[in-house]
Amino acid sequence: MQRRLNLVFLGCGAITAAHSRTLRAFAREVRCFYASREAEKAMAFERRFRGAGSFGSYGAALADGRMDAAFVATPPESHLELVLEALGRGKDVIVEKPAFNGAADFEPVAREVTRTGRRVLVAENYCYKPLARTLRDLLAEGAVGRPLFVQLNALKEQGATGWRAQTAGGPLLEGGIHWIDLLAHLGSPVRSVQGFRPGTDEGPGRSTLVVVEYADGSVGTLQHSWETPSLLRGLQLSHIRGTAGSIGFESNGLFVLVEGRIRRLILPGLADIGGHRAMFRDFFRALAGGPEPLMTLERARRDVEIVEAAQGGKHGSVDRGARGRAGRSAHLHLGDVQGLPA
């Protein structure tokens, strides 16, 4: 029988609590430890989730030779430093999304991964959702014919306090990265990106319209906002339309309705609607010496590059000409990004 993985959480906040509840289903595979800058908080998490130990500092946790892997669950601004330190200590790493505040931060991490032979896995769960799998399968089987339009709606009213209010990439990076990953990996790869920010506020803004062109010529849009009241706290419809039919679905994955040659109602599944259990299952296989997981470091980097493109980021050739004032809209051909396949 394979030895259980010793996993230490760096940071004891809401996301660590959520993941700890999920990991109860993996008790035979992983033992959880907790580290915080406040020893009492780490001990409280150890007691609450029946952990195997606790640490009063991140450094002490990473220096402990019993730890096989570290889960970086601190605010994004500290991710890069902690990931590099964990790799330097010989640990595999799981890092909460968004992995880093900018695409450039992936470069030193990739170099350290190559040097140490360790793995860095990004806890982006949306690609593991039953909804994502269902949509990919439907498009692969030609359920809508040739895809023309992908429309994702992610509109809700959500406050941004504490570190979330200070995140450099704003709501599109902090929360929208989920939807960017879904938009970008349904089938045909993204070829170019445009971003539009309604309103007059400076900075990243709380609302963004992202428009992508896929390599097959179809077009996708993401409406993302943290300032738009919506029915039932965010439940809404999205669509994929093609030459032979359409797919309507509740954005979070409650149901999928296929209309075309055959009308089908699909319930992707509520048991793991967020995809967290499937994500950890994939990660633990990878950390046990298995193949690369579905969510790779390169895929996570591409998602951040798309966010940067939509916000008028530094990477690639950005044109802010006739489309509006600088910073209000941007256009990027992803093939222009060094090392990124179109």
Question: Does some domain include residue 275?
Answer: no
| DSSP SS3 for 233 | helix
Using alpha carbons, select from 166, 159, 160 the residue that is nearest to residue 78: 166
User: pLDDT by residue (tens digit) across 208-219?
Assistant: 999 999 999 999
Q: Are residues 90 and 227 in the same domain?
A: no
User: pLDDT by residue (tens digit) across 253-272?
Assistant: 999 999 998 899 999 999 99
Examine the fold and report which residue of 91, 123, 155 is the final residue of a domain before the chain moves on: 123
Q: Are residues 188 and 52 in the same domain?
A: no
Considering the chain, what percentage of its residues have pLDDT values greater than 90?
79
The residues, ordered by sequence, that sit 6+ positions from 246 with a Cβ below 8 Å of its Cβ are 144, 239, 240, 258, 259, 260
Q: Are residues 143 and 107 in the same domain?
A: no
Per-residue pLDDT, 326? 33
Per-residue pLDDT, 241? 98
Question: Does some domain include residue 301?
Answer: yes
| DSSP SS3 for 218 | coil
Q: Are residues 209 and 189 in the same domain?
A: yes
Give ∠ CA 168-169-172 in degrees, rounded to 5.
Answer: 150
Per-residue pLDDT, 204? 63
Confidence of residue 179 (pLDDT cuts 50, 70, 90): very high
Question: Does some domain include residue 284?
Answer: no
* Residues 10, 59: Cα–Cα separation, whole Å: 10
Question: Does some domain include residue 199?
Answer: yes
Q: Are residues 236 and 198 in the same domain?
A: yes
Q: Are residues 17 and 92 in the same domain?
A: yes
Name residue, tokens 């997981």.
293
Domain count, the chain: 2
Examine the fold and report which residue of 107, 123, 139 is the final residue of a domain before the chain moves on: 123
User: pLDDT by residue (tens digit) across 269-287?
Assistant: 999 999 999 999 999 999 9
Confidence of residue 332 (pLDDT cuts 50, 70, 90): low
Q: Are residues 325 and 180 in the same domain?
A: yes
Q: Are residues 321 and 255 in the same domain?
A: yes
Q: Which helix (H) or strand (E) holds 96?
A: strand 92-96
Q: Are residues 97 and 146 in the same domain?
A: no
Q: Are residues 111 and 244 in the same domain?
A: no
Q: Are residues 162 and 302 in the same domain?
A: yes
* Residues 100, 105: Cα–Cα separation, whole Å: 6
Q: Which helix (H) or strand (E) holds 18?
A: helix 14-22
Question: Does some domain include residue 100?
Answer: yes
User: pLDDT by residue (tens digit) across 127-141?
Assistant: 999 999 999 999 999
User: pLDDT by residue (tens digit) across 26-60?
Assistant: 999 999 999 999 999 999 999 999 999 999 999 99
Per-residue pLDDT, 229? 83
Per-residue pLDDT for 320 more than 50?
A: no
Per-residue pLDDT for 342 more than 50?
A: no
Per-residue pLDDT for 220 more than 70?
A: yes
Return the higher-pLDDT residue of 195 and 161: 195
Angstrom CA distances, 16 to 54, 67, 76, stand at 13, 17, 14
Question: Does some domain include residue 289?
Answer: no
User: pLDDT by residue (tens digit) across 226-244?
Assistant: 998 877 666 889 999 999 9
Tell me the residue range of the domain where 141 lies: 127-269+296-336
User: pLDDT by residue (tens digit) across 181-199?
Assistant: 999 999 999 999 999 988 7
Examine the fold and report which residue of 123, 151, 171 is the final residue of a domain before the chain moves on: 123
Per-residue pLDDT, 134? 98
